[in-house]
Structure 1
Amino acid sequence: MTATSDEHLIFAGTSDLAGLVRGKGFPARDLDDRRATGVGYTASNIMLSAFGPIYKTPFGTTGDLMLVPDPAAGGPVPGEDNQTHMLMPGDIRHEDGSAWSCCPRHFLRRGLDALEQEFGLRMLSVFEQEFTYTGVADRPASSYAFDLFRRSGRFGPALMGALRAAGIEPDSFIAEAGDRQFEVTVCPRLGLASADETVLLREIVRGCAASLGHRASFTPINSPDGIGNGTHIHFSFRDLSGQPVTYDPNGPFGLSPQAAAFAAGIVRHMPAMTALTAPSVASYYRLRPSKWAPTRADIALADRGASLRVCPTFSTDPDVIARRANLEFRVVDAAASPYIALGCLVHAGLEGLRHGLVLPAAGSGDAPPLPSSLAEALSLMAADPAPRAWMGQTMFDAYTMLKTSEIEVLSGLSEDEICRRYAEVY
């Protein structure tokens, strides 16, 4: 019998409207062809729910699209049985190569292109990722503790190595505040690369845990009384020559005119865009008082309870301050596609820049509350014309249908049961 060897495969995927990576695999030797023809995709695939089935779809069974992998965005992901899998995020396109209106990656790209073309700005950003790791036992007093860090064993070193192997530069790995909770951060990237790396990072975290016989979960919250897994987005700006343009010591909150107007757009549209950045029913169990999570559409200096935080730079050197100055958006979790979450910030910020919006004064105390449920968030999104304009009518309607059906499926379950459903998925 002739011995056979395994053939290398590539998985072309998108982080879809449910925030899950879905797509198809193909032989690596076919990559050149697949860069042109992609893998087959149908419009209703974007309606795959967080729990698997397509509950409703506006697209039916008709129409063919292609999911085209981007080699520059790809990287190796570890997994079970010492296997490594090549994941390549990509774009959903029509047969003629034009972008499909519901492609999450293109949603972000459109905003970034407008930011550069209209205002000469590029966004530098990074996602902080919190997650729960099952490879350690929960013990009292584990929050931020060396004890929890130590007991994670090979997981942290394996994760750092796998990130580097994928071309992602690690920044930190820490034990967090929740039960068996950790956080991983990496170095910021310009433009689309930040979201691409976040798609890879989440799968690398899951893959490293699986390779050790355990699981990593990015579920928004494990129990309604617990501490949530947030996904905070740090961002700043560079001009077209690469110079930082976020800081101005004389501006509101120490922000430049461009950064202040951008932030004002986010604050203005935050209650509506929460439907896109905190997009699960369980997300709203995290956004409650006394959970160190945001509850109002506000901005503040160095306040970890604010929705939009102006971060400290830990320096007195003006040049260093200018390079390090950044804002942190905290109304996000990993039920959101990185492309949609970051895209929301860009599109909302563009609204602020285009209309010269002004930030509320520090300590004004009149910030509106964030929605308390996904249903309320969807209603606020429908009442604000901006998200519909950002997404386009087709994507807006598809997303609203997807999330409405998710609410309906969970109707009648207790909060504990709902948390368990999401924990099985994310």
Structure 2
Amino acid sequence: MSTEPTSADLDCHEWLHESVRPGPGELVFLATSDLSAHTRGRAVRAESLKTSTSVGWVPANLGIGPSGHITDDIPFDSSGDLRLLPDFDSAVRTTLIPGQPPLTIVFSDQVNTDGTPWHGDARSFLRQAIAELSEEFGIQVNAAFEHEFTDLGNTAPTQPFSLQAHRALEPIGSESMAALAEMGAQPENWLPEYAPNQFELTVSPAPALTAADRAVLVRDTVAAVFAGHDREVTFTPVPIAGDGGSGVHVHFGLNDLDGETLVFDADRPGRISVKAAKFAAGIVKYAPSLTAIFAPLVVSYQRLRPHNWSTAASFLGLQNREALLRIVPTNEIGGADPRPQLHFEFRGGDIGANPYLLLGILLKAGMEGLRQDLEPAEVVVGDPDAAVSAEGQLPTSLREAIDRLESDDVVREWFHPELLATYLAVKRAEIAEFGDLEPSQQCAAYRKFY
């Protein structure tokens, strides 16, 4: 139930901007993203939503795995209570999902019953990392998530990047982009990708917390539009064993608190400044220990392989799409200034990664590069095989990735013990359920969940 409003509360017609103001009888979904990167929450009638509204939540919900069951052996049982506390600044509304009524979504933080942040909340984890980066280093981050996904409703072969493939899926592409634009997610590109019936959607960069909110909107909106056309879509890392994979790439830049870039230095390798290269060094150093967070599914490791247009090793690369961390080329046509454009792309993530944890661990790892005053990351040009040490190789299975995560004292300290224990229990249960399946069976299982 919602909290009881006081006489000082404002109703929804006063606290929401006109562009996202719900109409009479509409529902408002208070959304959170769990450790398996599924969007969960509760809906309330718009008329009953007040500035003091929160709804009940349960700590054990943190342990829901990809197949929808609460995992055994987590630190939580049927006792305990939390609240979902709406962040009204995040509110968005769409009227453009086929066959669905208008819906307002408000991203919410999982908090204790006194309103303080709860240590198991992924959105609060990112929020804390953002504050830490700003207060300790004077750095703010703009980011954007790129999502790849596969149309399961077309069995005919498609040509990569073709107009034919684009038209074959219409109006799903147009409607997805329109709905995201209506929600202020600033979609940029919709394109047929290289793998069979694969597509990609990109959005504009935004402040870090908003960028992670937009990542949730993209995956849920695209899935809803597909469903509105009775068409199936999957974001799973590898939909068909042996075929190309789908990733979630994270673009991010580093700015000072006035918004000026901290990345660009024309006189250094890759034009990457010393500070940015040290930040990158932290990501490169700790990525093998973080693989269980950014590639968290059993099937993820069918994608993270050498020479697979993915990545299997942790290094900073220039013009190399198998780099875990890539320096993104700038557009200088017509004399455009490269300085504000230059940024990084993290290519290891996939749909199983909670967007808030994914971006949060990148910020945490980058800060370690600065704290430890690591040597600036080497900019690898060309074939990385000779340049990457054995320590830089990523784990080749989820089981190995979990072991790396547990054995890294620095990384473990980033997480509250109950958050980490729950995450590890969820992943171990996943390994027990799917780890011994044949690759094709793993792909089939995860197609249902993502």
CA apart distance, 1:230: 0.5
Q: Are 2:362 and 1:345 equivalent residues in the alignment? A: yes
For 1:246-257, list aligned pairs within 5 A: 246-257=263-274
**Which one of 401, 416, 420 corresponds to residue 440 of structure 2?**
416
Identity %: 33
CA apart distance, 1:159: 1.2
CA apart distance, 1:37: 4.4
TM-score if structure 2 supplies the norm length?
Answer: 0.89
Match of 1:268 in 2: 285
CA distance in 1: counterparts of 2:196 and 2:319, whole angstroms? 25
Contact kept? 1:135, 1:209, Cα under 8 Å: no
Q: Secondary structure at the match of 1:51?
A: coil
When residues 137 and 72 of structure 1 are mapped into structure 2, their CA distance, relative to the original with a 3 A threshold, is farther
Match of 1:369 in 2: 393
When residues 264 and 13 of structure 1 are mapped into structure 2, their CA distance, relative to the original with a 3 A threshold, is same
CA apart distance, 1:137: 3.9
**Which one of 298, 307, 312 corresponds to residue 281 of structure 1?**
298
For 1:20-419, list aligned pairs within 5 A: 20-32=38-50, 35-56=51-72, 57-77=74-94, 78-79=96-97, 81-140=99-158, 142-315=159-332, 320-363=337-380, 365-367=387-389, 368-419=392-443
Contact kept? 2:307, 2:322, Cα under 8 Å: no
CA distance in 2: counterparts of 1:42 and 1:313, whole angstroms? 46
CA apart distance, 1:411: 3.9
Q: Secondary structure at the match of 1:357?
A: coil
Alpha-carbon displacement from aligned partner over 1:73-121 (angstroms, at most 9, x marks no partner): 2323554524232222210000111100010001111111011111111
Contact kept? 1:133, 1:217, Cα under 8 Å: yes
Equivalent AA in structure 2 for residue 120 of structure 1? G
Q: Secondary structure at the match of 2:175?
A: helix
Tell which deviates more after alignment, 59-68 or 210-219: 210-219
**Structure 1: which 5+ residue stretches go unaligned?**
none
When residues 362 and 168 of structure 1 are mapped into structure 2, their CA distance, relative to the original with a 3 A threshold, is closer
Contact kept? 1:75, 1:200, Cα under 8 Å: no
CA apart distance, 1:332: 0.2
Tell which deviates more after alignment, 353-362 or 341-350: 353-362
Q: How many residues end up aligned between the 2 structures? A: 419
When residues 114 and 286 of structure 1 are mapped into structure 2, their CA distance, relative to the original with a 3 A threshold, is same
CA apart distance, 1:316: 7.5
Contact kept? 2:249, 2:350, Cα under 8 Å: yes
CA distance in 1: counterparts of 2:233 and 2:89, whole angstroms? 26
Alpha-carbon displacement from aligned partner over 1:255-278 (angstroms, at most 9, x marks no partner): 122211110100000001111001
Equivalent AA in structure 2 for residue 190 of structure 1? P
Q: Secondary structure at the match of 2:339?
A: helix
Tell which deviates more after alignment, 408-417 or 108-117: 408-417
Q: Runs ≥4 in structure 1, deviation > 6 angstroms?
A: 316-319
CA distance in 2: counterparts of 1:50 and 1:109, whole angstroms? 24
Contact kept? 1:302, 1:312, Cα under 8 Å: yes
Q: Secondary structure at the match of 2:414?
A: helix
Q: Secondary structure at the match of 1:95?
A: coil
Equivalent AA in structure 1 for residue 395 of structure 2? P
Q: Secondary structure at the match of 2:85?
A: strand
When residues 36 and 358 of structure 1 are mapped into structure 2, their CA distance, relative to the original with a 3 A threshold, is farther
Q: Secondary structure at the match of 1:53?
A: coil
Q: Secondary structure at the match of 1:26?
A: strand
Q: Secondary structure at the match of 1:403?
A: helix
**Structure 2: which 5+ residue stretches go unaligned?**
1-22, 381-385
CA apart distance, 1:412: 3.1
CA apart distance, 1:317: 8.5
When residues 358 and 30 of structure 1 are mapped into structure 2, their CA distance, relative to the original with a 3 A threshold, is farther
Contact kept? 2:277, 2:377, Cα under 8 Å: no
